[in-house]
Each structure stands twice: as structure tokens, then as C-alpha cells.
Structure 1
Amino acid sequence: MAAPRRSRSSASKATAIPQLSWREPQAAPVVLVSGPEEVCAERATGALRDQMKAVDPSLEITDLRADDYAAGSLLAVTSPSLFGEPRLVRVGGVEKCSDAFLQEALAYVEAPQEGATVVLRHTGSSVRGKKLLEAIRAGKGGGVEIACPAVKYDRDREAFAAGEFRHAGRRIAPRALQALTQAFSGDLAELAAACQQLLQDTDGDIDEKVVNRYYGGRVETTAFEVADTAITGQYGAALLALRQALDSGADPVPLVAAFAMKLRTMARVGGQRGPNRQVAQQLKMADWQVDRARRDLQSGWTERSLGVAIQAVARADAEVKGASRDPVFALERMVTVVATRAPFGA
């Protein structure tokens, strides 16, 4: 096997194990996926799964939570079965791990099970599990690390988007790349989804005209910014964002569509129980969509207020498409209902 390719975004601390790019992960007995960028972490874990299933379709996949851990689970799911199928065990929440998991994981990296790949997800949001990370980075368990650092700045977002097209063997013009990253300046997951949509729906090189046809310059990002602000209950800020969006030329129809998409996702996720990955599989969504919807729901939403908001968005949708002479008022009323979680005028 070729030597693992090292990532340029390696951990700053000295480490004895290979540092891999999240775009080019490789299986190992222990794989530490570290850092806060969830989109990159999900991509890396998904690519590992696909690689291993391509080698052996009988791959057994198990998900565990380190923060809700039943003693003995790690050894049970990594132990060889009667027929010796390879095992992939994905462990989330290592930054919040229980004492039982920490103790068993430390013992496991001293003597990993043959034929098993254990992926440990640590966001870096706490120092919990530090001893385990240090053991892995010291070389115990024959591990590798996949760093997923935060993508914060415009240049990092452009580099991320450029990498999406380069990895797919496609070219995107510099001005098109700039327009795309400006159109999705808030949520990296939305930028990733936009890149994938362009890759799937178009052929050949991607220029600025193509990006504008799909996303209308800054209109789409403005729509999601307005929706995000209203959904989190920031009434005044949401009305201001709406006015700024309209002044910059935003079309009322995609503004309403952004609200509808987010509220519809919240409604679907709100009735489900279980880990994000399990719910995502049931609803055929990406993990990040479930996570984002659950975070939105925690900002004061109830079943009743969500229903009122969905009705308001449906009314606004009809009005901005011709049922009203004043689409701006229709948008303001929709934003008011969503941001206040109450019927208009209540």
C-alpha cells in the first residue's frame, strides 16, 4: 500500500501518525477525525465507508456514541464475526465521551482488533478525551488523523469550493468561483451543496453565467440569511435583513422558497428521535441538515408555532406569485410571523 498522503492542514502539535487530507482518507485500525468543520468530517467518513465497501461489500457498519456509551460495546462490535467480515465502527461525540468509553477506548488502541476500522470523531470543542487523542497521536493503535479545521475566511471558502471542482475533474472560472462563494457566505454546508448541484446538473466548464443562472448572484445567500435570522427569533434584525435583500435586488420568490425549505426540514426532523445519522438515513437527508434543523428547533419553536409559520409561508408564496398587489408587505408579514412565532397582529 502506498504511504498515506499527508494533509497540508496538519495538526500544529507534533504527532507520530500520518496526517491525511479529508478529501483523500485512508482506512487504518484507528482513524481520528478531528476539528470543528462537520462538512469535511462527514465527507471523510463517507469516503472511508465507500472505499471499504468497494473492497468488500460484506462490510459491517456500526455507529456508537461516546457520550451515551454502554460498557463493552466497542469490543463487542469490533470483535471478528463467524465469517470474518471487515468492520467499520463510527464513534461520534468523543469530545463529550463518558468515563466508560474513555477507559475502554484507551485499552482498545493498545491492541486493536484485526479487520476492524474505528473512526473517532472529536470536534475539538472541549479537552475531554485528550488522553485518548494523545495516545493515538503517539502512534498507539496504528492510527491516522484526518484534520478538519474551521473554514472561516473568504480565501478558505474559495479554496474549499475550488477543491470541490478540482476533485471532480471540472474547471470553474475565477469570477464564477468568486460569485459562488459570495452567494453562500454563511453556511459551508450550503456552499458544498451548491457545488455538488452544479457538478451534477451541468457539463463542461462552469462560468459566471452558469452560477448566476442557478443562484442569481447574491440573491440566494441573502434569502437564507433572512430566513436564518427570522428562524432564530431576531425580529428586528430579520426585518432589516429583508429590507437590505430587497434593496440589493432580491426576488421575493426565492426569499419565500428559502423560508419554506428550512421550515419544511424542521417539521420533518422535529418528529424524529435518535442520533443525527440515523434520522438522516430515515429521511434521506445529509447529517448536517438534521443537525442544523435540530439547532434551529431549539431556538424556541413548538409544534404549534411551527405550524403557524408554515401557514404564513404558504400564504406569502401565493401572494408573491401574483395573489397580492403588495409582495413586499407579504414578505414583511411572513418574516414577522416566523420571527415572533405568533399569528400576524397577535
Structure 2
Amino acid sequence: MPAPRSSSAARRGGKASNIPQVPWREPRPAPIVLVSGPEEICAERAIAGIRTYLRAEDPAVEVSDLRADDYESGSLLALASPSLFGEPRMLRIAGVERCTDAFLAEAVAYLEHPQDGATVVLRHTGASVRGKKLLDAIRAGTGGGIEIACPAIKRDDEKADFAAGEFRAAGRRIVPQALRALVSAFSDDITELAAACQQLINDVEGDVTPEIVERYYGGRVEVSAFVVADTAIAGRLGEALVALRHALASGADPVPMVAAFAMKLRSMARVAGSRESNAALAARLGMKDWQVDRARRDLAGWNERSLGLAIQATARADADVKGAARDPIFALERMITVIATRAPYGEAGR
């Protein structure tokens, strides 16, 4: 595997970084490892990965922990220095964004003379500019370090990438529909999403399907919403209405239910008629390749007229469930009927 490239164009704290930028899923040791950014689950995985790497090389590696915000002078050098038998050392330092003056001074000095056999991991969440002098020195190349960035995972596509990476790293496959349902179910908490991925990886044999996600997490409102949407768009009216009833019985709110339909139909409309490759179209529209691929597959059997009817029905349902009609459940059923039959309401079966 080629070594990660140094990214002089990557900007961190206003300065270009001159050290290798290493993916958090592919961590490796170095004399200095800066683990930056607010996403704690990724930082934890990266730091644990470095420990696993070092222990695979030498099970006798000594692992020590320090707090930069509660620091006793001399601790850094004492723990990083070789022991009598010269075992490799890993020093994990948390709270660098709140570091004391004593730690900052000693850490900057340490960069000039890193100890042989020591891997010093510095965790900085980016929550403050405290420690900027140290970060700038590391990113300038002093100490021969690397950086593992852990930026916040906020957008739906970022969460989908994260979850897909969990299964890919485990050598497992989750089908796209199941992936979207899982991400939607845990959209508010990336740590819960990670735990759900690991539960499915550990408990389920073979591919993870939408039915499996529904069985495990069917009580989550967003899962049911996307199951209903996928089923209706596939043209299975009876299954879609049954899924709707199940979702409503589980506590689903009609408003996010309609939003799930709107999101899928909007993606379908954006890619309809284009002959560009998935990668080219995704780049132009600001979508992911898999989103374009899924939208194109969803379009099977659709045409301009039926897609227009579906979009109109969804817009009407959106207004109805937000107060324009007395019966939001009827509004949902009417929308689903139009979408699943790809015909105006009342014409199904004609």
C-alpha cells in the first residue's frame, strides 16, 4: 500500500500542513501522531489501531496515558524515554486543546528531540486554539510526525460513508437500501450508529438486508419511513401500505415519512435522463456515486409523467400532514397509492 501523501494544500488552523495525512481507518505509528478533530469515535478507533499495530510488532510495548490539561512537569520525557530493556513505548496524551503552559513548553521542546522507539499520540479536538504553537510545529514537520484528522460527521452522505466503511472494514456487505435505513435510524448519534453497525456485523451472517435492519431497529421512526418509501417506489402497493401501518403503529410521524419520500424522489428527478457516468454525474450534482446509482435503479419503470405525478402527490401530502387536511393518514395512503401505481389517485388497476 502506498504511503499517504503529505498534503501541503490541506489547511489546519490557517497553516498548510507539511506532514502526511493518514486516514483514521488506516492508522500507523510515527514518532509524533497528531489526532485532530472533534469526531471522538474516529479518534478512538485511530488510537486503538495504533496500539494494535505496535503490539503486533512487539507485544512488550509499554502503553502510558497522560492528561495535557492536568500535567506534572517532566512526565512527557520520563514516559517517552527508553526503559532499561529498551521496549517500544506508546504515550497517549489527551486534552491537548486544554493543555497547561508546562505541557506546551515541554511538548514543543520534545519535538526537537523525539525519543527512539517512542510513539507519542497527541489528541486535540479542535475545541479551542489552545496549543496552536504545538500544532503548528508538528504540521511544519518538526519531530517527523503524521496527522490523523477526525472531522465532524454531520451530513447524511458522511454518515453513510462512515457506516459503509464499518461493514467494508469487517469484510461484510450491506445492501444500499439497508444502509440508508440504518443511517436514517441513527442519524442523531454517530456513536449509536457505530454500535448498530457492529451489532449487525457480529450478529448477522451473510449480507445485511433491509429486512434484517427492520427486524433489529424497526422501532426507529426513520427506518420505517425509508422502508415504506423504497417499497412504494418499487411499485409494491400492498407491501407499502402494510409497512406504513407498521411504521405508524411504531410511532412514526407523518411529516418525516413524507420527507423520506421527497428526498428519494428528488434524487430520482435529478439524475433522470442523464447519460453521464455515475462518477461524473455525482461530481456535477454534489452527490455520492452510490446515491446516483441507487436513484438510477429506483427509476426503473418510471417515466417523466409518472415521476411528475409522484412529485405532485408528495407535495400535496406534505401540505396535508402539516395541517392542510384533517386526516394525515389518508393523505399518506393517497400519496403511496399514486407512487406505487404510478398513476393518478383512483386510477389504480384501470
User: Match of 2:164?
Assistant: 162
User: Match of 2:145?
Assistant: 143
Rounded to whole Å, the distance in 2 between the matches of 1:67 and 1:35 is 17
Rounded to whole Å, the distance in 1 between the matches of 2:108 and 2:223 is 44
The one-letter amino acid paired with 2:206 is G
Rounded to whole Å, the distance in 2 between the matches of 1:112 and 1:102 is 15
User: Match of 1:213?
Assistant: 215
Q: What does 1:194-209 align with in structure 2 at a 5 Å threshold?
A: 194-209=196-211
Maintained 8 Å contact 2:182/2:223: no
Rounded to whole Å, the distance in 1 between the matches of 2:37 and 2:52 is 22
Alpha-carbon spacing, 1:221–1:123, altered in 2? closer, same or farther (3 Å):
farther
Where 1:62 maps in the other structure, the secondary structure is strand
User: Match of 1:268?
Assistant: none
Structure 1's consecutive aligned runs of 4 or more residues displaced over 6 angstroms after TM superposition are: none
- Unpaired stretches in structure 2, ≥5 consecutive residues: 225-245, 252-350
Q: What does 1:278-293 align with in structure 2 at a 5 Å threshold?
A: none
Alpha-carbon spacing, 1:187–1:56, altered in 2? closer, same or farther (3 Å):
same
Q: What does 1:1-346 align with in structure 2 at a 5 Å threshold?
A: 3-4=3-4, 11=11, 13-216=15-218, 218-219=220-221, 248-250=248-250
State the Cα distance separating 1:169 from its structure 2 match: 1.4
Where 1:20 maps in the other structure, the secondary structure is coil
Between the aligned residues of both structures, percent identity stands at 65
Rounded to whole Å, the distance in 2 between the matches of 1:200 and 1:11 is 38
State the Cα distance separating 1:250 from its structure 2 match: 2.8
Rounded to whole Å, the distance in 2 between the matches of 1:67 and 1:193 is 29
Rounded to whole Å, the distance in 1 between the matches of 2:194 and 2:5 is 23
Rounded to whole Å, the distance in 2 between the matches of 1:10 and 1:20 is 12
Rounded to whole Å, the distance in 2 between the matches of 1:221 and 1:122 is 35
State the Cα distance separating 1:109 from its structure 2 match: 0.7
CA RMSD of aligned residues (A): 2.4
State the Cα distance separating 1:15 from its structure 2 match: 1.1
Rounded to whole Å, the distance in 2 between the matches of 1:247 and 1:209 is 14
The one-letter amino acid paired with 2:61 is L
Alpha-carbon spacing, 1:6–1:148, altered in 2? closer, same or farther (3 Å):
farther
Alpha-carbon spacing, 1:103–1:210, altered in 2? closer, same or farther (3 Å):
same
- Unpaired stretches in structure 1, ≥5 consecutive residues: 223-245, 252-346
State the Cα distance separating 1:249 from its structure 2 match: 3.0
The one-letter amino acid paired with 1:250 is S
State the Cα distance separating 1:221 from its structure 2 match: 8.5
State the Cα distance separating 1:155 from its structure 2 match: 1.0
State the Cα distance separating 1:10 from its structure 2 match: 5.3
Where 1:67 maps in the other structure, the secondary structure is coil
Q: TM-score, normalised by structure 2?
A: 0.62
State the Cα distance separating 1:217 from its structure 2 match: 5.6
Q: How many residues align?
A: 228
Alpha-carbon spacing, 1:169–1:212, altered in 2? closer, same or farther (3 Å):
same
Q: TM-score, normalised by structure 1?
A: 0.62
State the Cα distance separating 1:176 from its structure 2 match: 0.2
State the Cα distance separating 1:247 from its structure 2 match: 8.5
Where 1:186 maps in the other structure, the secondary structure is coil
Where 1:84 maps in the other structure, the secondary structure is coil
State the Cα distance separating 1:187 from its structure 2 match: 0.9
Rounded to whole Å, the distance in 2 between the matches of 1:22 and 1:219 is 31
Maintained 8 Å contact 1:71/1:100: yes
State the Cα distance separating 1:193 from its structure 2 match: 0.5
Alpha-carbon spacing, 1:86–1:125, altered in 2? closer, same or farther (3 Å):
same
The one-letter amino acid paired with 1:187 is D
